Amino acid sequence: MTQANVSSHSLVLDEHRPQDRRVAMATLVGTSIEWYDYFIYANAAALIFGKQFFSAVPDNMQLILSFATVGISFLFRPLGAAVAGHYGDRVGRKAMLVITLLLMGGATALIGVLPTAQTIGLWAPVLLIVLRIVQGFSAGGEWGGAALMAVEHAPASKRGKFGAFPQIGVPVGMLIATGFLAMLSVLLTDAQFKTWGWRIPFLASAVLIIIGMWIRLGVTESPVFKELNEHPDEVKMPLGQVFRFTGKQVAQAALMFMGNGVAGYMVTGGFLLAYTTTHLGMPKPAILNLVTLASACWIVTTFLAGSLSDRFTRIRTYRVGYVAQLLWVFPMFLLVQTGQLVWVAVAMVLLTVPLGLTYGPQAALFAEMFPASIRYSGASISYALGSILGGAFAPMIAQALTDSTHTVMSVPVYLFVVTLIALVVTFTVKDRTGQPIDHGAMDIPGAREIARLSASAKG
């Protein structure tokens, strides 16, 4: 099918059509649920899990080990990305979206009924880690499917805007999670919350999964994948071709995402929550409310950045975001160190500006970087590797830096270096904002090589 034929068909999202509104909503709701599950865990790791699951180790190691379980799941994201990417490129985007949602929700609900170390000893942290691995596996495949469903349905001039829907699922999930925890911290006493109240938001995930499944099962398959079905023999092993023909793009995308993740997980990964409440002695409900406020602001900045990238290009939007992040990381931690709620609020809220600028355009940018036949695999692997490099152990590294240097100001040095690397990488990426991304788009690096390989195999 030629690009002209693709353009002449009604293959793109139209916000005025109910079915296409459902596609956008499916990518938003499903991703929000996935990240609600993640943030509930990250916040619980910061507040509860050290004592509940690692009580056998010294007090000064409990929080570090608790944060380590947050990072462990990221190590299994590439596996989830590889499996979901393979079948997403071979079977379809929609099927993988349903499976990953079920896996994440099921693991989260089981954490809600998991016995603690006081009850079953060593088995408690072991089972917790197993469920975290399942969460990591599902998260590795979730983002790529949601991103491609949104971007591949979208008109070329609005890919950034519609690609922002799965992106804002992250701050929406954080908003719901922290809002829920803040409500529980008010309704329950500290003893009640630590004893059994922390389980409620994990169990609530089961209800959210039902809603997400109802929405996702009703969406249509990606039009780009429908076109790929006309070429069923082109790609047998998508992951192999990703590294053979687009290894450079994988490295570029992962390193660019690293800069966003390392800063974002200071808030979303629970480090600032733990530091302000434990080290500075600030009230937990107030800090949770500030994280909720930051989440709301991040929704706005992410959506605006996705839309702006359609006009100013993806790469320019990224560069502005990373320059702003470089300028903000040191003032942000100086404000946090004051221990005053108003300055901590300013620190968190202003961080959402560079976070939005480097996250909103991501779905569109990654989709435009990879050929259609290996796009799910390429985008998912890049996202998973970037998560490991930038987000997986960022809270644990930050905690270890603070403990070893006896000052939280060592953390912005870490953030600055990683952000600078991501900024430099943006100058090596070919910007394809608004360019064709269908099967016939041969200017995407790797597309011609895959086409020649397919032709020789058929010949």
User: In the prediction, which pLDDT does 1 show?
Assistant: 34
In a domain, 268, yes or no: yes
Q: Is 113 helix (H, G, I), strand (E, B) or coil?
A: coil
Residue ranges of the chain with pLDDT lower than 70? Answer: 1-22, 222, 228-236, 268-270, 392, 457-459
Task: Classify residue 165 by burial, with Cβ atoms within 10 Å: 0-12, 13-18, 19+.
Answer: buried
Q: What are 248's two structure tokens?
A: 């450079």
Query: Measured between alpha carbons, how far is 69 from 45 in angstroms, rounded to an integer?
Result: 8
CATH assignment at residue 104: 1.20.1250.20
User: In the prediction, which pLDDT does 236 show?
Assistant: 65
Residue pair 281/408 in contact (Cβ under 8 Å)? The answer is: no
Domain that holds residue 99: 12-458
Q: How many domains does the chain have?
A: 1
User: In the prediction, which pLDDT does 5 show?
Assistant: 38
User: In the prediction, which pLDDT does 22 show?
Assistant: 67
Residue with tokens 């929406």: 172
In a domain, 309, yes or no: yes
CA 442, 443, 446: angle at the middle one, nearest 5?
Answer: 75
Residues with Cβ within 8 Å of 14's Cβ and at least 6 positions away in sequence, in order, are 20
Query: Measured between alpha carbons, how far is 242 from 88 in angstroms, rounded to an integer?
Result: 14
In a domain, 87, yes or no: yes
Q: What are 384's two structure tokens?
A: 């998973």
Query: Measured between alpha carbons, how far is 424 from 233 in angstroms, rounded to an integer?
Result: 38
User: In the prediction, which pLDDT does 8 show?
Assistant: 34
Query: Measured between alpha carbons, how far is 184 from 366 in angstroms, rounded to an integer?
Result: 38
Residues with Cβ within 8 Å of 164's Cβ and at least 6 positions away in sequence, in order, are 302, 303, 305, 306, 307, 360, 361, 363
| Nearest C-alpha neighbor of 147 from the set 173, 169, 166, 168 | 166
Query: Measured between alpha carbons, how far is 419 from 416 in angstroms, rounded to an integer?
Result: 5
In a domain, 1, yes or no: no
SS3 content of the chain, % helix, strand, coil (to 5): 80, 0, 20
In a domain, 5, yes or no: no
Q: What is the pTM of this model?
A: 0.82
In a domain, 7, yes or no: no
| Nearest C-alpha neighbor of 225 from the set 133, 149, 127 | 149
User: In the prediction, which pLDDT does 9 show?
Assistant: 39
| Identity at 307, one-letter amino acid code | S
Query: Measured between alpha carbons, how far is 347 from 341 in angstroms, rounded to an integer?
Result: 10
In a domain, 202, yes or no: yes
Q: Is 114 helix (H, G, I), strand (E, B) or coil?
A: coil
In a domain, 204, yes or no: yes
Query: Measured between alpha carbons, how far is 367 from 363 in angstroms, rounded to an integer?
Result: 6
